[in-house]
Structure 1
Amino acid sequence: MSAGRTPPNIVLITADQLRYDCVEPNAPGAPHTPNLARLAAEGVRFTQAYSHVPVCGPARQSLLCGRRPESFGGLWNAGAALPVGSLSPDEWTWPKALQERGYASAFLGKWGVHPRLGPTAYGYDRAVGAADYEAFRKDAYPDVAFAGGFFGEPNPIPVEDASTHWLARQAVREIERLHAEGRPWHVALHFAEPHLPCRPSGRFADMYDPADMRPWPGFGDTFEGKPYIQRQQLCSWGVESFGWADWAPIVARYYGVVSQLDDAIGHVLRALDRLGADDTLVVFTADHGDMCGSHGMMDKHYIMYDDVVRVPMIMRWNGALPAGAVCGRFAYGFLDLAPTFAEAAGLNRPERLHGDSLLPLLRGGGEALWRREAVIATYNGQQFGLYCQRMIRTERWKYVWNLTDVDELYDLEADPGELVNRIGEAKLADIVAELRRRLYETLLADEDGFDNEWTRRQLLAGRKL
């Protein structure tokens, strides 16, 4: 907790599958997000925040406990053909620690932590979920049906009753109720947008003209020298023949949903203003990004491009954090939040978490003391078969260890779109060896489980084709 301050209220707002480059204030070509721009102007915007695991379920489990999912077996989303491990409710979670500290709390929106147990098993007092919205929608709009599949379509439901705004309305009610109780409170608001399929409502449905959509830096990939699964992804989705003219309407709908999401968040921020809830730590981030046509792909699986591993993140805490600051140091959008909330609220926490509190980084002189010079992301396969990846990204280089296929190395200064895999270049062998060593040491420290004589040959002895 910041010296001399009482424990703050905490509002955590997350998006699902939101690209980092869609929340950049005044960036040319980015969606219109005035409410998130306002939040950034009043707080700290992180420009190098990353997902530690770009898959919904494992990321959300890690968010609660502050540990990498490999350390407790949460490798995949529930509902796939594969058996799924989930975070046990007996594990330490920061919502439970807040509850023990005397906080009142409410959870709203997408869950994804456990297929049978809900938020109240992990420390929340009340929960409103996706099923509650579906019940409302079916009752209020029984004739609405969708035919566009994962590619999306306009939503005939009015904006005020779309899932974004319905959920924001529930969140405002919970904030008003909790604030009236007069004790510290926490609200988690997890939107399901802009996860595909994108279905913007009302004015957001035609807010963006497909003709104005410009290709992502990663568009036009030939996949030369890259893992087989990437080219196969296009065939699996049926998009191998798509040109930019095919992707542009999909991107326009994605942009529309991003702006619609921002509008819903504005209702929550204005409620905090109206209540005078100044001593509130507000955090906005996302579980991971979305390809949305970059590299010709849909969704996020089997890849470690910045399109999916880099995420937006904003933190505002009036009087405790600087206003209008931009932090360019490496951070984790989800993994760092457990220790951050623990420090802010003065919680008892496990000695070993895999993230770090961001509060020291944001205090005077903190950037000079911040030691994280790389971020690590992991992936364990799911929908189209098992396929494990481990990534390390420094300021210039990204190395991807594909355990059962060719590795990847990208020079992010010369090739920000990550189009050219340079893994086989002899002159870069020392860089690869160093990145492999650093990756191995982090995986070992973070209880990843890939420490055996076979994997050590790959990462430490260079026995990798």
Structure 2
Amino acid sequence: MSKRKVKNILFIMCDQLRADYLSCFGHPTLKTPNLDALAAKGVLFERAYVQSPVCGPSRMSYYTGRYVHSHGASWNFVPLKVGEMTIGDHLRPLGVQSAIVGKTHMRADLSGMARLGIDPNSKIGRRIGECGFDPYERDDGIHPYSGHDPEPAYNQYLREQGFEGDNPWEEWANATVDDEGNIRSGWFLKYSNKAARIPDEHSETPYITRRAMDFINEAGNQPWCMHLSYIKPHWPYIAPEPYAGMFKPSDALPVVRSEEEKHNPHPVYEAMMHHRVSQTFSRDEVRETVLCGYMGLIKQIDDQLGLLFSFMEERDLMDNTMIVFTSDHGDYMGDHWMGEKDLFHEPVIRVPLIVYDPDPRADCTRNTRNKALVEAVDLAPTFLDAYGGPAVPHIMDGRSLRPLLFGEQPKDWRQTVICEYDYAFQDSRIELNTKARQAWMRMIFDGRWKYVLFENYRPMLFDLQKDPNEFHDLGESQEHEHIEARARLHEALFQWARAPRQRVTVTDDAIESVEVQPRISEGGILIGYWDEEELATARQGFKPRFASTNPLVKSTLDRLTA
């Protein structure tokens, strides 16, 4: 058997990383040689899209292989309900240890566990609360004052290194010192181009990389799927030296926005441009300052991945470990007069995706770029496929990427991608006086036309072939081509919405394999027969799947078919 068969999976995710800020995706000055080298070993997917533009729902789609409409965790603080199967749940029966090292943004369904009598501190309870992973080290950042998460081990680690304080994560790793010697919080965007107080080796990204190495050293011979999930380059956008001083504003990509976008904008888009973060990032000095720190954080991640990959090579793990690198979403960074990630423009929903599969069947696609439309939901079925598990299309909405990795071109590959967003929790909903249950928007994109459907508002439409920057919203255009595109994508979105996604306990194959004509049920329940003779006629040449337990029916069947 080939040594290069997949034994382990390293599933790497960054937070808020744009695809166009990696050199293998075209950035002209920010060089990421270690990710470039990974792309040379595998496949770079140029058109990979997430299922939601915000952390929580996007990650839940990665972990379940299901659309937001399916799993229901529609925003950051909406729990993934008890019973949703995740990567760990699918791989554990195959003998694979599934562990988290870093961030998940998972909110545990505590009320669901209480209803079912599950102790959140039990082994099962912890797995339910950690997206099905075993928590080797869970660290979401943004702690501890927000109540977002318990204090992480990282804070204790910092104290052990001499970085004291109630919250060394905030006071050291995400703070700086100004020219007058004052400690300044990295939460303030003004200080994003300053150096963090923490030395590089003790900052978040190197720390969590070392914890990933610790997991590998302790894993033994059991196959593992490790989700290495970096908190950065998510805000606070502050990097330690030497990364803080590596980049200047001229290294950033030009801002993508037009004054035309402000003229009669879509009501929801306009309300989102009114968000504080959007108003702030629309200022040139803010964007230029923040991008210096943002690029430094990305460079630091690439350097740490270089150390991790070397560590794996020394242990002969590169020949049997699938490596996947991606992001949960991007970041507007002032593009389209927006901050954060609240709509469906390309800088937010198109993410980097690099897949290295050691299997010899993938040799034909190494160092290639694939233009197929792929989605975040495709990774979970890819991992299941890598371990030889049967496909579960009644549970997972995605499809395995391995045919594409092996050079195949499935004729029935998807023609559109879907993205969803629940803006019920945002100020824009309040400004618009929209009911929470109507604050949904859904996007469908076919590689050229991007259509966005809202409740109670007109749609948006962009032609990325003629308008790659998405400056011209054609949602109200009466030109025939635009009317046709809206109608076609509206129907495609409706067709997607009609697909069954909640019948997850019985496979399609099981349903389709039942011999239904004639149907003789277990327990002697006979429906629709006039008399014994009709039953005997129907039963000719048919071997029943179940023996009857009703003595009268059994004797009748025996007599009539003797």
With the shorter chain as reference, the TM-score category is: 0.7 to 0.9
How far apart are the structure 2 equivalents of 1:431 and 1:183? 51
Partner of 1:376: 418
Partner of 1:134: 155
Partner of 2:314: 274
| 2:102 aligns with one of 106, 109, 119 | 109
1:104/1:185 contact within 8 Å kept = yes
Q: 1:5 to 1:243 in 2, by over 3 A?
A: closer
| 2:81 aligns with one of 84, 87, 102 | 87
Partner of 1:240: 279
1:363 and 2:406 aligned: yes
1:21/1:30 contact within 8 Å kept = no
Counterpart secondary structure, 1:233: helix
Percent sequence identity is 30
2:6/2:322 contact within 8 Å kept = no
Q: 5+ unaligned residues in a row in structure 1: which ranges?
A: 79-83, 449-465
Partner of 2:49: 50
Counterpart secondary structure, 1:367: coil
Counterpart secondary structure, 2:324: strand
1:107/1:119 contact within 8 Å kept = no
Counterpart secondary structure, 1:171: helix
1:398/1:412 contact within 8 Å kept = yes
After TM superposition, the score normalised by the length of structure 1 is: 0.87
Per-residue deviation, 1:346 = 1.5
Counterpart amino acid of 1:258? I
Please say which of residues 188-197 and 104-113 is displaced more in the overlay: 104-113
CA RMSD of aligned residues (A): 2.4
Aligned pair count?
Answer: 436
2:15/2:328 contact within 8 Å kept = yes
How far apart are the structure 1 equivalents of 2:24 and 2:498? 38
1:106/1:126 contact within 8 Å kept = yes
Counterpart secondary structure, 1:205: helix
How far apart are the structure 2 equivalents of 1:150 and 1:391? 33
Per-residue deviation, 1:3 = 10
Q: 1:305 to 1:51 in 2, by over 3 A?
A: same
Please say which of residues 184-193 and 237-246 is displaced more in the overlay: 237-246
Partner deviation per Cα, 1:379-403 (whole Å, 9 max, x = no partner): 1112324431100111211111122
Partner of 1:16: 15
1:347 and 2:389 aligned: yes
How far apart are the structure 2 equivalents of 1:416 and 1:265? 32
Counterpart amino acid of 1:54? P
Counterpart amino acid of 1:31? L
Q: 1:370 to 1:162 in 2, by over 3 A?
A: farther
1:404 and 2:397 aligned: no
1:425 and 2:466 aligned: no
Output aligned runs, 1:64-103, within 5 Å. Answer: 64-78=63-77, 84-88=78-82, 90-103=83-96
| 2:337 aligns with one of 296, 309, 327 | 296
Per-residue deviation, 1:238 = 5.6
Partner of 2:356: 316
Per-residue deviation, 1:103 = 1.9
How far apart are the structure 2 equivalents of 1:235 and 1:26? 31
Per-residue deviation, 1:198 = 0.8
Output aligned runs, 1:135-154, within 5 Å. Answer: 135-140=156-161, 141-142=163-164, 144=171, 146=175, 147-149=185-187, 151=189, 153=192, 154=195
1:167 and 2:188 aligned: no
How far apart are the structure 1 equivalents of 2:126 and 2:22? 28
Q: 1:222 to 1:126 in 2, by over 3 A?
A: closer
Q: 1:350 to 1:217 in 2, by over 3 A?
A: same
How far apart are the structure 2 equivalents of 1:410 and 1:62? 25
After TM superposition, the score normalised by the length of structure 2 is: 0.73
Per-residue deviation, 1:305 = 0.5
Per-residue deviation, 1:161 = 0.9
Instruction: Indicate the structure whose relative CO is greater, using CA pairs within 8 Å and at least 6 residues apart.
Output: 1
How far apart are the structure 2 equivalents of 1:230 and 1:119? 39
1:45/1:313 contact within 8 Å kept = yes
Partner of 1:335: 377
